[in-house]
Structure formats: C-alpha cells, structure tokens
Structure 1
Amino acid sequence: MADSPAERVLSVGGHDFGYPHGHLGHLTADEENRLKSFKLFLEEKGMYRPGPPPSHDDQTLLRFLRARKWVVKDAYAQFKDTEDWRKANQLEVLYDTIDVDAYEQTRRLYPQWTGRRDRRGIPLYLFQIRHLDSKTVSTYEKSAESTNVSQAQTDGSTPQRLLRLFALYENLTRFAQPLCTEMTDREHARTPITLSTNIVDVSQVSLRMFWNLKSHMQAASTLATAHYPETLDRIFIIGAPYFFSTVWGWIKRWFDPITVSKIFVLSASEVKPTLEAFIEPRNIPKQYGGELDFEFFDRPNVDPKIREKLSWENGYTDFPEGPAYWVPVDGGKRLACIAVGSKDGKLRRERVCSISVAFPAEEANGVPEAGRAATSPPAAAADPAVEAAVDGVQSLSVVDDRVVSEIEEKVAVEDRKEEEKAAAVSA
C-alpha cells in the first residue's frame, strides 16, 4: 500500500470520539463553549490559572471533557481526582528523580514506543505480552514494593509498582506526544497530539498466563483510565490464541466501554492489510509485515523525519535511557529536551536537543475562532480490512460469570498439575 495521508483513516467504531473530532481545531461551537465553561468552572474552584502561560493547556483539559462526554461537572470531578492524586503522590517529583535503571526495568514490562508514528502522526507503541510471565512480574513487583527509587512521597495507597508505571505515562504525555505534535508532515498539523496507537502481541500466551496477569493488568488499566483519560486511540491485538474469544469476555471488563470500542482483534490474514491502513509500511515492525527494524525491548528507532528537525546538543546523537520532557526555550520558539531522573544517586538534568515549535503561541493565537470551532470532516468510506477488524471485535463471544468460573477451574487444574510435577521432581 502506498504511503498516504491519514485523512482516509476511519474513526474507531464510528463513535464520536474519533480523532480529530473533539480535538483543538476540530471543535463544534457547542464543544468550544463547553471548553470555555470548563475553564471558568476550574478557575472558580482554584484549579486553573488562565496565565499566560495557563496552568493547564487546552489539549489536556479537552481530554477530560471528551472522557466525560462533555459534561463539565463530570469532567471537573475526574480532573480534581487526578490533580489530588498527582499531588498526593508527587508525580512531578517522581518523574524528575526516578532512578534511570528502575525506570528502564519498568519500561521493559509495558508498551514500548517504537520511535515511529501512525499515518495521522500519533506515536506508535508495541506491547508483547509473552514477556510478562509470572516469575518476571512477581520479581518486579517484590522489588518495586521494597524499594523507593525516587524522592517522591506517596499517599501510601497507590502501590510503588504502579507509580513506576505512571512514570511511563508521564513520558507519553510529556515527551512522545509533544515531540510528535511539532511534526507538520501530517493531516491536521495544528492539532496537538494527545493519543497513542498500540500494537499488542498476545501470541505464545497461555490461558494460565492470561489469568495470572489479571490483577496486574486490571489495576494498571483502572488507574490509567482514571488519571490519564483519552490518551489511547487504538489497540490492535494480534496473534490471538484459539481460546481468546473465550477470555475476551472477562478481559474487556478491565476497560471502560469507550476503550473497548477502540480495540481491534486481528486474524493472521488481517494483520498486514489492517496495520497498513493505519500505519505506513516503513513504520511497521518487520515481524508484522512492515519494514521497520524494531524488536521489543529496543530503544526507540526514531523516525528519520523527526531526526531531521532535531538539533542535538552536548554530545548527544540519540535520546538517552530514562525519563525526559520538553520545556520551552528561546521565548517559546523552540522546545528543549531535558533528560531527568537520577543515575548512581545523582540527579540528572541534561539538555539533549531542541526542536523548532511548529506554531508558536503568538501565531496560534492568530487562528480565527471560527477555524478552531469547525466541525470534523465527514468520515471516509470504510476500508474492508478495517470493517473486518471491527466485526471481529463485535463478534467475539461475551462470557458470563459461569464461564469465568470455568476458566478459573481450568487454571486451577493446570496449577495443581504443575505443583505435582514439581513435587515429583523434588522427591
């Protein structure tokens, strides 16, 4: 498939949350008014300062409005809970001071940024579940709970292992998304990127492994949905084992309905054509039919188009391990990448590179209000591969509590067999 702009890519499942609808530059008049009302409401509650610069940018506020279906008071409730949670766990301090090695240990357990983007300019992540075997997860969780790897004080109710996970979400929202936002080789170049696209590989995963991961994945999903709303655009599940249609019924209970509607389960024959409908072949990992040299655990293979816009500094020629974020410099005309965290007990704050801001604030402020309140363009004609993917999700069987009990029983039988084998060997 030839590389082509993203304008022909469908919104997920036809619902009203599909990019770019509801994002800056593509708000209806009513949505624009609700954003203004939300700001005023937050300001009255002492949770927002209009600036300049404002305490929270418009694209962040819009994430909460979209998540709460544009109901201002509901968006406020989620926003307040998130702000309170961030302060109670000192998320800013956590990200600034987390040990780089601990950060990298956590990164290897969760979706990896490939360094590439989909056709709309949204960062592309890869997650291979098979690496999360019970021994790996147990060892990690024990280590995470016994060691505080940052200077942040916590509320005591959020486990350390999950706080480390949220350092990765901070990297998504403060590093990957802002970097992709400054790239103008995409449709809707003035619209900030606040989403991610994910390939989730569930091949070589047993029923027992799925079950053992239940609490690990469910806790992470619940907190992510609560405190990082509307940061996910699509999940492509590939390599689904024969029993996946059965376990899907309880897996999808971990997610809210909007997230479920963004999940595409692909058969082997659907992987290549569907991924190419959303992602240029040069940005798809080779193992999934593309041209990109990228394996799970790799550092990001940064898009050459992104590299062309970067000015490296202080001897850097690539992004280092650990946390980093972008800060405005040169009067807001450029963004500088600052590598943070700690190495061998010493705090790190190193300038890595800089990038020109595509649309500086003074230029953005000149955009006519009518242009920002435009409605979304009509949906494109359906791609057969995309339709097949959607149908695959909708046709998966929904299981009830009886079936969940059967799954638990099967897993218990497998566990007993493993215990008997271990006992026989030791005897």
Structure 2
Amino acid sequence: MTDHTSGDVLRRSHVRRWVLYAVVAAVVAAVVSFIRLDDPGDHHERYFFGTLQTSPRTARADEARGMRVAHMTVSWDRFEPVPGQVDQHYVATLKRKLRMFRDAGLHVEAGVGLNNPPPWLSDRYPEDAFTDQGGARFTSGPNLVFSQEIRNEVEGYLRRLDQEIGLANFWAIRIGVNSTGEFTYPPPAPSTRGAMSYWAFDRHAQASGADPGRPATVPPNPYPGWRPGQSTYRGAPFTPGQVNRWYGWYLSALADAVNWQTGQYEALGYHGLLLVLIPGGGFHPSDLSAAVRAHLGETAAGGLISRGAGFFRTIGLIQHRRTVQLVSTALVDGSGTPRNNACRPSDGSVVPDAVAPGAEARVRAWSSVRWISRIAAREGFPISGESAGPHVAAYYPGVMTDAARQLTSCGLTGLMWAFDHNLYDGTPGSSLGDYASVIAKLQKGAAP
C-alpha cells in the first residue's frame, strides 16, 4: 500500500514536472516568436533592410545580400470582389507568396489594400464618398474619415483577411488614408479650381450635430456650409480664429482615421508593427499662417494645405501605441538644399510647430526626411524610411550612399528600397550589388 502510494506520488510529481517544462517551453517559444516578429534581423544587426514590391523570385537573392524584409500587397478588390465573399483562388495566391517569402527567411511587411477598394463599395455607399467644396467626388480610396458605414465595411474586410491569411503572419502592416496609402487626404480633383480640394463636404462631414453615419470619434463640423475662400459665414465676418478652428477640425478628423485603424488591428489581437506612412515634407508653419489669412483660399501651398499635409500638426495627433511607428516615404526624393541633405545634431533645437521667422528659411532648405525626422523625435515616435522611387526623383550613381547618410544621421531604424525590380533592371545607382555594399557597411557601423 505504501509502495503503491509512493509510486502515485512520484508519477504525479513526474507529470507536474513535465507540465511545468511544457509551460516554460511554451512561454520561451512565445517570447522567441515575439522577438523574431519584432526584429527582422538578428540581434547583431543595427538596421533592417528590404525592398518594396518584392518579387518572390528574387527573395532568396535579396536575403543572401542582407535584406530581411519583403513587401507584399493585398488588393481588397481582388480579395472581396463581392460583398462578404472571398475569392479563394486569390487567397491561395497570397498564401503561396507569403510562404515563399518566409521560406526565403524574410519577414513580411504588408499593405492590406484599403487604398484599392472594390467597386461595389462606392456603388453601395454613393453618398459617403469623399466630396470636396466644389462637389467633386473621390472614389479611388474609401472615406475612412467621415463615413461610419465605410469603416464598418473595412472592419469586416480586415476580420475576413485575418481569418483567411492570419494577420500574425505579417511582421508589419502599412497604414494611411489616401489613394497611395499615406497619411494625407486625397489629391485635389482635376475639376476643382485652384488645385485645392478640401475633402469635407460629404453629407456626414457637413452634418452640424449628432449623425449616426459619422464616426462617433469625429466631432461635428463647427461651421457647416462654410467653404474655404469665403470671408463671411451666415452674414458675419469669418475670423482667422474661426478659420483655424475649422482647419483644426479637418486635421483631427484625418488623424482619427489613422487612430481608428490602429485600434482595429489591436482589437484583432495583432502585435506586429503598425507603420504610418508620411509622404514628403508637407507645408511649414508660415504656409498655414498665409492660408488662414486668405481664409484657406488660393495660396502657394494651397494644394498641400487642402490635403492636410501639415505634419508638424498631424503627427502629434497620432495616438501612441507600443507598435506604432512612422515611415518617411521620401528618402532621396531630391528635396532640400543641398539636394537630399542629411540630418544634423543642431536640428534638435528647432521646434517644428513654432519655427522662428528668422530660422524658417534654413528649415525650408532641409530635405523631406530631415524635417519629418525632427517632428517624429519631437513627438516621441520611432521612424524608418523608404526611398521615394525613381518615378519621383531619378536614381543616380551614389543615390544609395545618400540614402544611407539620411538613414544614419536621422536616426532611422531601417530602409525599404523602392523598388525590388530596380535592383535588377540596370537602374543607375540601384543595383543589387550597390544595396548589398551599403547594407554590409551600415551593419558593421561603418560610414556610408
């Protein structure tokens, strides 16, 4: 009896030990998986590197040259060609591509295709499209800013994408609002006078009070019916203070669309990086002052102002989450004097939203990434970068070295090169060998 009882005790102790070992092993595996998800290179690598529009055919060659991240695009219109119905053939294609990248040892940064909505979206919600002050409609991207119905459709799409593909398979997900997936309103409509489209004139944006069709996190329009350029409102002068209030509402609504997206991914249990794409340098404080004096009418920077590209104002409206990072999509975009200039330690003395009049000329000479990096540092966001691409500014011998100087001097965490095919097609300064050489130098801590 005693021996039998002792044997039971020993067996239970043995089982408990194995349960403990299994729990510890599971925790370690989870931690290792989490580390691998957050870190696309090993712990000896200083930066991450990858390409945009990565081809599965070149994935192994890319990885062998030091790249650790592939870019993959999902098209919403192909994934869900009919409301609520998923194209399984397209899903199989996505899974095959994802498997090829992962088999090559690459982490995957995904664009989930919100900037490529299916045609049925605008057909189903014709009155919810972005609409500007002249009545022009924009349907090439979903109105995530002012339409709750559109947000509901996006929420359903992301849920189905997670079920079919698994968002956890992505190291990072790109976030934006406009038709290129970046953090501005859409471009001006060709039909709108003055090349300025303020996209706040759909029925929900113009509702003066409670409106179930407008997201609850977007306040009502403070001055419904007022249009940029008008100096009066309901028979009374429209003051600069009122212009500022209206424009502040316009910018905060834009930021709310980004914050809503990051909240959606968090609600789905996604723990990877959420990359908010910042295009170019946008406008500067004095540009906004001039526009306010003109009641947001035609000014030199009017097009950028109508797009809400005031990053010294909007980046600070992005909610801080552990996984949210910024991406400057404008490395080596040809901006600045001298062209494509790098960051300097003295940049830290500049207050982006309150540049002294005497200093603004100097700041305007900064490259786009230099300006955005300063704003990111001020607001406490980590930032990485990607080259603007030869369609924006032609590549040239030494362009990767210039990009590397911007990366290291501006404190960026990594670089995505636009585009993968430019490493193989003979584009000047953009060969696979050029990129491999830059990567090797930077990972060793050498000057670019």
TM-score (norm 1): 0.26
Q: Please say which structure displays the higher CA radius of gyration.
A: 2
| Higher RCO by CA contacts (8 Å cutoff, separation 6 or greater) | 1
